[in-house]
Amino acid sequence: MKLTCLPVSLYQDLSEGRRTLADWFNLAAELGLDGVDISVAHLENRQPGYLNSLRDQAKASGVPIVGMVTYSDFTHPNPTERRHQIEELKANIQVAARLAVSFLRVTAGQAHPNIEQSNGLAWAVEGLTACLSQAADVGVQLLYENHSIGYTWTHFDFSYPADIFLEIVGRTEGTGLGVLYDTANTISRGDDPLEVLEKVKHRVEMIHVNDILRTGYFEPVLVGTGVAPIETIFKTMRTDGFDGWICLEEASRTDEEGFRRAVPYVDRIWEKVGGVPRSSNQF
């Protein structure tokens, strides 16, 4: 496996200018990561010159940009906004291609008030599958996550409940849409993460390693200190032959200390379940 990280604990600093993405790349290299993940929320613009510079900064730090998260809201009740969300995804696919990003995280959308479930399901599937061929043409894979709530959102994800997530996965079978499996989001909703994993593991292309304090509540904590069944999830995926990218979603709000503790934890648990150790200068 190879290890990347989405720096959720640094989001506020990145948004308010106390850190730059270049700072994040340098920290990731210091941590011994194989790559980095970023959020579209922290891009200054979509101009080619800026994106080329960002890609080159990451490469110079020794940590290519592996994944990028978007906040697609395909369940918006306004059809004009839903069409806009598809256009936004098309634009973000081109951004990902210029940054040489392999995986682009997509979401179903928010649980807007008074949405009929049947409509939300149809709109989510339509949006999630609208740009698959365009993404494939530029070497970017779209990954649908068992998601909780987006950084820029007001409401939780429409497909936060496991039954809705699984329904959308089922309706997109065979389309080329991959799954980004988060270790904590499902249990934070009070649903069974292992039962869900069994039904989607054949579609999982990347794992988000996240942790929460207690079942049924979205309270992120330092990875390895909460109730998310990370070791069992790793064991299940390893038994199934998974040896791809794992993304540490560091959201403990403990500044750099959280990263420095979480990275070796992920390495240790992966090796414990029989995974091949990562080559790293630090750990």
Q: What is the CATH number of the domain that holds 65?
A: 3.20.20.150
pLDDT of residue 134: 98
In the chain, the number of structural domains is 1
pLDDT of residue 142: 98
DSSP state of 8: G
116 belongs to a structural domain? yes
154 belongs to a structural domain? yes
279 belongs to a structural domain? no
Decide: residue 261, CB within 10 A, 0-12 exposed, 13-18 middle, 19+ buried.
Answer: middle
pLDDT tens digits, one per residue of 172-199: 999 999 999 999 999 999 999 999 999 9
131 vs 128: CA distance, rounded Å: 7
Instruction: Evaluate if pTM is beyond 0.95.
Output: yes
- Which domain covers residue 155, as residue numbers? 11-272
277 belongs to a structural domain? no
Q: Predicted confidence band at 79 (pLDDT cuts at 50, 70, 90)? A: very high
pLDDT of residue 52: 98
184 belongs to a structural domain? yes
221 belongs to a structural domain? yes
Q: What is the mean pLDDT of residues 32-46?
A: 97
212 belongs to a structural domain? yes
Sequence-distant contacts of 112-116: CB under 8 A, at least 24 apart: 112/75, 112/76, 112/77, 112/155, 112/158, 113/155, 114/77, 115/75, 115/77, 115/158
The answer to whether 227 touches 185, Cβ cutoff 8 Å, is no
Q: What is the mean pLDDT of residues 89-114?
A: 98
Query: Residue 43 carries which side chain, given as an amino acid letter?
Result: L
19 belongs to a structural domain? yes
